[in-house]
Amino acid sequence: MKKIIINTIAKIIKRKPGDIKLNLGLGKDENWDSLAHITIYIELKKKFKYNGSLKNLGNVKTVKDWINFFSKKK
């Protein structure tokens, strides 16, 4: 799951997967703006077939947060 999330984020913000660190997030990269953040959610939602609650989505800001968000949604 972690690798899928990192690869997805890297593709969306146009970076190499090896450049993606767990603390990288919204506003910490010139290509990671609010539109990219929404795109990340949509792509990960499709990949993990997630239709659950968006209750804690507002707290998701970094790569680590995305990993935690989707790992709890099994």
Q: Is the pTM of this model over 0.75?
A: yes
The reported pLDDT for the residue numbered 72 is 73
Domains belonging to the chain, first-starting first, are 2-71 (1.10.1200.10)
pLDDT band at 36 (very low <50, low <70, confident <90, very high): very high
Judged against a pLDDT cut of 80, whether residue 54 lies above it is answered with no
Helix count (H) and strand count (E) of the chain? 3, 0
Question: What is the tens place of the pLDDT at every residue in 2-25?
Answer: 999 999 999 999 999 999 999 999
The contacts found for 6-13 with CB under 8 angstroms, 24 or more apart, are 6/63, 8/40, 8/43, 8/44, 8/47, 9/40, 9/63, 9/66, 12/36, 12/39, 12/40, 12/43
The reported pLDDT for the residue numbered 68 is 92
